[in-house]
Amino acid sequence: MFPIKTFVSERRAANLLEQVRWRDGVYCPRCRGESMIRYGSYRVFQRYLCKDCDRTFNDQTGTIFEHSAVELKKWFLAVYMYIRFNTSVRLLDVEIDVSYKTSTDASSASYERWTRLDSISKVLLRSTNST
């Protein structure tokens, strides 16, 4: 299961995302190039500079978490509750304060996000169980 510290520390959550996302190696989400250098950080996330397309990305780029105003640790807590306690999506929205207060997040977008979150959570679970 998830280490409990994942839910209280944004840095820990970022570490988990980094491990899970790049378990087959880091690649550029824009051009799929595989040669990059570490290039500082974006908030708590590792940032990279792609040597192929010369653009930067970070651990969140291209994930459903990228443009979320909600902290990653809250997403992970939601994923945990979703799996562990079978909490409904609607309830989760309220719990983590996601969609109904943000104008850009219509409930269909929210549903879409949760659907994708469901598949991500399976990947997360698999990887945290195996380590």
Q: Which residues bind Zn ion (CB under 5 A)?
A: 28, 30-31, 33, 50, 52-53
Closer Cβ to Zn ion, 50 or 77, answer by number: 50
Closer Cβ to Zn ion, 42 or 111, answer by number: 42
Show the tokens assigned to 121: 């959570």
Closer Cβ to Zn ion, 11 or 30, answer by number: 30
Q: Smallest distance, Å, CB 52 to Zn ion? A: 5
Separation of alpha carbons 40 and 87, rounded Å? 37
